[in-house]
Amino acid sequence: MIIAIANQKGGVGKTTTTAALAVNLANMGHRVLVVDADPQANLTSAMGLSEEQAANRPNLFTLVEEVDDPANAPVEAASGVWLIPSTPGLGHADLHNKVDRERILKRILRPLRDRFDVIFIDSPPSLGLLTLNALAACDTVIVPTQTEGFSVQGLTQLMETMGQLRKYEVNPNCDIGGVILTMYDQRRNLDKEVSDLIREVLGRLVLEPTVPRDVRIAEYGKTGDPSLLLGDSKGALAYKALAQEVSNRWLA
């Protein structure tokens, strides 16, 4: 199963959601691979690899440029999760001049599918060829959405993009499998209003529970300590429940 974590708006918790689901599912016994498709390489550093370490081994840039074999790319990272790392060089990859350029990542991941129960792709916070590759390679899409208006706009734009990928048969299966509401602040009326609106419109597509704002989860982005994702803070418990729901829906 390949799941793209995507939203065309940045700052909604894509990388944290990818890491939290991966670490929790690995802790549950699943074989998990995460692919850092963002040249900012935040997931790579969160998984414990420095920029230098990522650059000195097979990474998504060298795979796109066909320098390395995809079979040799995964490296074991935090809490038993396997990782295909990224580097800033990925932003300079010559995707535009390649044949069937939207499906490069799909071809890279094809020989790895049977080695893992689930592969998560952490996509960039913009609509470019790397995001299109993530959407073209996946079986379904999970969309982290902050409970505010601009994030809803990003969700709407992403749905339009996925419609185009289906229309032109780049990926006939490209559709939203689930929406995760993130950074919820129960003290703000706006968060409640947006949350209620999204749940009313999308129904069962919205996964339970909502992820609250959580200092411990924010610290993970700085320290990369996976124990923060497996702890007993409100955010960690929310992601644990979400990982169980992902397992029930797609990995049972």
Residue ranges of domains in the chain:
2-251
Confidence (pLDDT) at 251: 93
Q: Is-contact 130 38, C-beta < 8 A?
A: yes
Confidence (pLDDT) at 196: 87
- Run of H or E residues at 136: helix 129-137
How far are the Cα atoms of 19, 74, 136, 191 from residue 173, in angstroms, in the given order?
24, 25, 9, 31
Q: What is d(CA 82, CA 26) in angstroms, rounded to the nearest whole number?
A: 9
Confidence (pLDDT) at 180: 94
Residue (of 221, 228, 220, 236) closest to 40 by Cα position: 221
Query: Residue 68 corresponds to which tokens in the numbers above?
Result: 């390395």
Residue (of 243, 13, 16, 43) closest to 148 by Cα position: 13
43-52: pLDDT as tens digits: 999 998 999 9
Confidence (pLDDT) at 37: 96
187-235: pLDDT as tens digits: 888 888 888 888 888 889 999 888 998 888 888 877 778 888 888 899 9
Cis bond leading into 70, ω under 30°? no
CATH of 2-251, one of 3.40.190.10, 3.40.1160.10, 3.40.50.300, 3.40.50.1820: 3.40.50.300
Q: What is d(CA 155, CA 23) in angstroms, rounded to the nearest whole number?
A: 25
Confidence (pLDDT) at 146: 85
Confidence (pLDDT) at 63: 96
Confidence (pLDDT) at 246: 96
Consecutive 10-residue averages of pLDDT for the chain (252 residues):
88 89 96 96 92 94 94 90 95 85 94 97 89 95 84 78 88 90 84 85 89 86 80 92 96 88
Residue (of 116, 118, 120, 92) closest to 105 by Cα position: 120
Confidence (pLDDT) at 151: 67
